Structure 1
Amino acid sequence: MDSILGVEEVLFFVNNVQDAKQWFIELLGENPYFDDERYCAFYLANATVGLHPSDEKISSGVAGQVTYWRVSDIKKTIAHFESKGCRLFRGPTFGIDKAWICQLMDPFDNVWGLVEK
């Protein structure tokens, strides 16, 4: 489809935006470019990572969709995420498409996908 240009934003639903913001600052090593008590946003690899309060329509945690971030060294990246309180959710596995993939669950029960090709 020619009209889809790329990933614009990955939205994480969390119970408390300000609590989650502090963890994201630690993980990413930078402050958000937009910061409000109801929403904040970071730049990561040419996309926005937004933190939004969970509500009755969308709770925090695994919801069936996972965004995969391309990384240069999956083992090193897994170690970094684990040092910030994440735990392995799936993998790492070597996929049939010749890529290493894994999923990590953050302290807010959201899943981060990593892929190394």
Structure 2
Amino acid sequence: MFQGIRTVMVFADDPEKSARWWADVLEAEEIHLEVENGRVYAWLDVDGVELGFHPADDARNPRGGSPVVYWAVDDVDAVRQRLLDAGCTHHRGPIEAEPGRKICQLTDPFGTIIGIDGPGSTPA
């Protein structure tokens, strides 16, 4: 069911600047940028783990908060329900992060926000 860590998400005031700094420190060859509604999302791949930089949001994911670790899963809805049944609570999502990719966040019984990341709807 759980397949390993896929994504570590960092919440930053300037996601592009943060991604460029980490790319330099980690000697990553490429960063990826996406702009949606004036908000920049940036990420780089480090040894099979996506290091993502998301705009900070005081209501949902404040700057300087803990990174959200995303577990790769086969079925977001099934794993989400399993975690809810085990005592987690809803935090955000599920959303289609991109065509064919669905993510969501839950809060475990101890206050840690975790993410799950798996296949979504296939593009038409």
Shorter-chain TM-score tier: 0.3 to 0.5
Question: Counting strand residues as a fraction of each chain, which structure ranks higher?
Answer: 2
Q: TM-score, normalised by structure 1?
A: 0.47
Q: So what's the TM-score if we normalise by structure 2?
A: 0.44
